[in-house]
């Protein structure tokens, strides 16, 4: 399993699959990637069931570490996640 293949797998359920993600720096990791998008969870926390999701996968020495942040509702979170990306 590679970072890119794991990102493609995790992003497959997104409304617009984000591919293999964007490389990012994570302290202590041997590589990390991030994907952002919206996903229809059906029973999501937003009224429409569509949530904005940011996912980061970092490679440790022996395992991949996953961080997934779901925001609600998707419309309000869009500005915040865009701002976070701009600050990098």
Indicate whether this model's pTM tops 0.85.
Answer: no
The residue with tokens 């890119």 is 4
What is the mean pLDDT of the segment spanning 65-76?
Answer: 75
Phi, psi of 82 (to 5 degrees): -65, -40
Look at residues 51, 16, 9 and name the one whose alpha carbon lies nearest to residue 33: 9
**Per DSSP, what are the bridge partners of residue 68?**
55
Model confidence band, residue 46 (pLDDT cutoffs 50, 70, 90): low
Domain count, the chain: 1
**Residue-range definition of the domain harbouring residue 25:** 3-87
pLDDT-above-90 percentage for the chain: 32
Element (H, E) at 3: helix 3-11
Alpha helices in the chain (DSSP H): 3-11, 74-87
């Amino acid at each position: 399993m590679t970072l890119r293949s794991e990102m493609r797998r995790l992003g497959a359920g997104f409304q617009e699959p984000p591919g293999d993600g964007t490389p990012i720096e994570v302290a202590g990791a041997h590589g990390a990637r991030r994907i952002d998008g919206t996903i229809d969870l059906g029973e999501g926390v937003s009224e429409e069931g569509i949530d904005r999701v940011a996912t980061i996968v970092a490679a440790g020495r022996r395992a991949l570490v996953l961080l997934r942040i779901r925001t609600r509702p998707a419309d309000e979170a869009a500005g915040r996640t865009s701002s976070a990306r701009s600050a990098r």
